[in-house]
Amino acid sequence: MEYYLRANTKEELFSDLRSAGFEWYDYDEETGERTVREPENLEVTSVRDLGTCIYLEHIVKTPAEFDEEGNLISQAVLTNDFHANVTLIGEHDFSTAIEKPNSPKYGWQ
C-alpha cells in the first residue's frame, strides 16, 4: 500500500510515522546505543516486514523558472507543510494521509 502524508508541523508528521513503526536513528558504535532523531530531507528508513518511508520535508509548490541558457529567472516556491511517502506491506490508518496527488512532485525522489 502506498500512502502520501501531509502535516502542518514536523511533530504531527513524525508522530504519525512513529505510530506505524518508522523512526530515524543515530548509532553509537562504541556503546551500541541508538538515539532517535529527526530525518534529513529525502532520507529513507525501512523496517523489515513493514515497509519503507521517505521524508520529503517541504515540496515544490511552484517550480523554479530558467531561461533558454539555463539562467535562473525565479526561485522555486516551497510549501510550508511537511510531507512523507510511505510504502507498506499491509495497511495502516495514518491521520495525515492524503489522496494520491496528481503531481509527480510527490513521487519518490
Tell me how far CA of residue 69 lies from CA of 62, 63, 72, 74, 75, in angstroms: 20, 17, 9, 14, 16
pLDDT in tens, 11-22: 999 999 999 999
Question: Mean pLDDT, to the nearest integer, of 19-37?
Answer: 93
Task: Give the pLDDT confidence score for residue 81 in this predicted structure.
Answer: 94
Judge whether residue 25 has pLDDT over 60.
yes
Tens digit of pLDDT for each residue in 59-95?
888 888 999 999 999 998 888 999 999 999 999 999 9
Give domain limits for the chain.
Answer: 2-95
pTM of the predicted model, to two decimals?
A: 0.82
pLDDT at 105: 57
**C-alpha distances in angstroms, 45 versus 17, 22, 71, 89?**
11, 7, 35, 14
Per-residue pLDDT at 108:
41
What pLDDT is attached to residue 85?
94
pLDDT of residue 104: 57
* Mean pLDDT computed over every residue of the chain: 90
